[in-house]
């Protein structure tokens, strides 16, 4: 969102519609539209901030001790709010993780963020960050996870589950590339749902996984919301495992 002024009105309508349905988590980042997405969100949440769980992310090149604090302040200004519910490091970078954690703790103590976490961290990265001062407060790891990107199931997902660190799954429909898969289409037709809804419902079956599909149109929000009520059967889950096999060996963390 926020990359084209022509689409901002429909994007805001979609966000408002989602909030009206009770879909309260809004995920953004300073990277999205170079701040434009945060500016799109600002008027939507202005009179209902307490209804929203607001997540934003800091660029790795801004994640020094001073840089992360300044970046957070800029995000707050664009969002026109005085706090974030969750602030994430977008992916590992060159600054020491200890510096970033120190900045996150400073922001938390000042009331600028309520929690903090990471994104695109593999097991080795997670082991490093939780070993540092403040690292055990990591609230989530946001990663690429969908039916075609199941590599995290081999080691990262179990590692996080053992420590009660939920995964936030981005790109649940692989940026639309999943929509024409034969097995997904068959199940969708049988259930009178869309292929996107089946793909999202599959993710919702996974324990300790939060799903964050992009929804810039009201129609997409309606479909995403309906996926909450789609309970896949064991037979359907087995069919999906056959079409999209889980990993049998370690797989490097993937990113989009």
Average pLDDT over residues 29-50: 96
**Catalytic residue IDs:** 32
What is the spatial distance between Cα 244 and Cα 241, in angstroms, rounded to a whole number?
5
CB 138 within 8 A of CB 118: yes
Instruction: Provide the pLDDT for residue 177.
Output: 92
pLDDT at 96 over 90: yes
pLDDT at 215 over 90: no
Instruction: Provide the pLDDT for residue 221.
Output: 95
Average pLDDT over residues 112-126: 98
Average pLDDT over residues 138-164: 97
pLDDT at 77 over 90: yes
Q: Quick one: fold of 5-243?
A: TIM Barrel (3.20.20)
Instruction: Provide the pLDDT for residue 202.
Output: 97
123-138 residue pLDDT tens: 999 999 999 999 999 9
Q: How many helices (H) and strands (E) does the chain have?
A: 10, 7
Write the DSSP assignment of 128-168 as a string of letters. HHHTSTTGGG---EEEE-BTTB-GGGTTHHHHHHHTT-PEE
What mean pLDDT value characterizes the chain? 96
For the entire predicted model, the pTM comes to 0.95
For the chain, the domains span: 5-243
């Amino acid at each position: 969102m926020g990359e084209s002024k022509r689409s901002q009105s429909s994007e805001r309508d979609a966000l408002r519609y989602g909030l009206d349905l009770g879909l309260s988590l809004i995920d953004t980042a300073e990277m999205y539209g170079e701040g434009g997405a945060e500016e799109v969100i600002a008027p939507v949440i202005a009179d209902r901030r307490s209804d929203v769980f607001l997540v934003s992310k800091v660029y790795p090149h801004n994640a020094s001790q001073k840089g992360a604090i300044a970046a957070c302040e800029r995000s707050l200004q664009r969002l026109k709010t005085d706090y974030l519910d969750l602030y994430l490091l977008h992916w590992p970078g060159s600054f020491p993780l200890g510096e970033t954690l120190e900045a996150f703790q400073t922001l938390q103590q000042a009331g600028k963020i309520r929690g903090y976490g990471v994104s695109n961290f593999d097991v080795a990265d997670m082991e490093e960050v939780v070993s540092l001062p403040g690292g055990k407060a990591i609230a989530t790891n946001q990663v690429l996870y969908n039916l075609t990107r199941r590599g995290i199931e081999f080691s990262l997902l179990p590692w996080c589950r053992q420590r009660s660190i939920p995964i936030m799954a981005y790109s649940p429909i692989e940026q639309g590339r999943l929509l024409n898969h034969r097995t997904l289409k068959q199940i969708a037709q049988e259930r009178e749902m869309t292929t996107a809804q089946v793909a999202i419902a599959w993710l919702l079956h996974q324990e300790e996984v939060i799903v964050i599909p992009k929804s810039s149109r009201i129609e997409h929000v309606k479909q995403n919301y309906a996926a909450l009520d789609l309970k896949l059967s064991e037979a359907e889950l087995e069919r999906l495992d056959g079409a999209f096999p889980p990993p049998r060996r370690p797989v490097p963390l993937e990113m989009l």
